[in-house]
Amino acid sequence: MVSSLGELERAVMEVLWDRGAPAVVRDVADALAGRELAYTTVMTVLDRLAKKGFVRRQRDGRAWRYEPTNTRAGYVAQLMLDALALTGDRDAALTRFARSVSTPEAEVLSQALAEARPEDDEQP
């Protein structure tokens, strides 16, 4: 089965999110066994995700352990904040159908975002 890189990145992220604990490349490759991916392919995808800032890796003995930098809900909340124009000066980035949101909803979203990434300061 041929998969595009984007689709692979997504599948790998889903594995990491479902696991809930740092994983080595082998763990991810095993979880995606149905796709018959080469070990090196999984490694490349994890590497790309790390470069984009979606996963961070830590040395564990001779292997790297990977974990997501943010939860799935956290990313969705981030997109919603963009979409609702609550992120301030990024107005030109999207065109919305109708920009309207009540203050409590905005607060819930911001909270979800803050909870999803504790002590993560390097995010722009």
Partner 1 sequence: MNTALHLLVTLAVCLLAVGPLAGARWVWRSPHTGILLWQLLALTVVLCVGGVAYLVAPWLGGAVAATLLAVFGHHWLATLRTRRQHRRILSLVARADDAVPGVLVLDHPLTVAYCLPGLRSHVVLSSGALAALSRDELAAVLAHEQTHARERHDLVLLPFLALRPLCRSVADAVALLVEMRADESACPRSLSMALRRFTAVTPPGTLGMADAADAAVHARLSRLSAAAAPLPWWLRWSAVVAGLTLVSTPLSFLVW
66 touches partner 1 by CB under 8 A: no
One-letter identity of residue 110: S
**What is the bridge-based pairing of β-strands 63-68 and 55-60?**
antiparallel
DSSP 23: B
Q: For residue 60, what are the β-bridge partners? A: 63
Distances (CA, A) of 60 to 48, 63, 117: 19, 5, 22
Stretch that binds partner 1, among 18-26, 32-40, 58-66, 74-82 (CB under 8 A): 74-82
Residue closer to partner 1 (CB basis): 63 or 94? 94
Interior CA angle at 26 toward 20 and 28, to 5°? 40
* Binding-residue total with partner 1 (CB under 8 A): 36
- Give me the least distance between CB of 32 and partner 1, in Å please: 15
13 touches partner 1 by CB under 8 A: yes
Token pair 């991810």 in the structure block, residue = 28
Where in 87-106 is the site for partner 1 (CB under 8 A)? 89-103, 105
Could you list the residues that contact partner 1 (CB under 8 A)? 6, 9-10, 13, 52, 54, 72, 75-80, 82-86, 89-103, 105, 109, 124
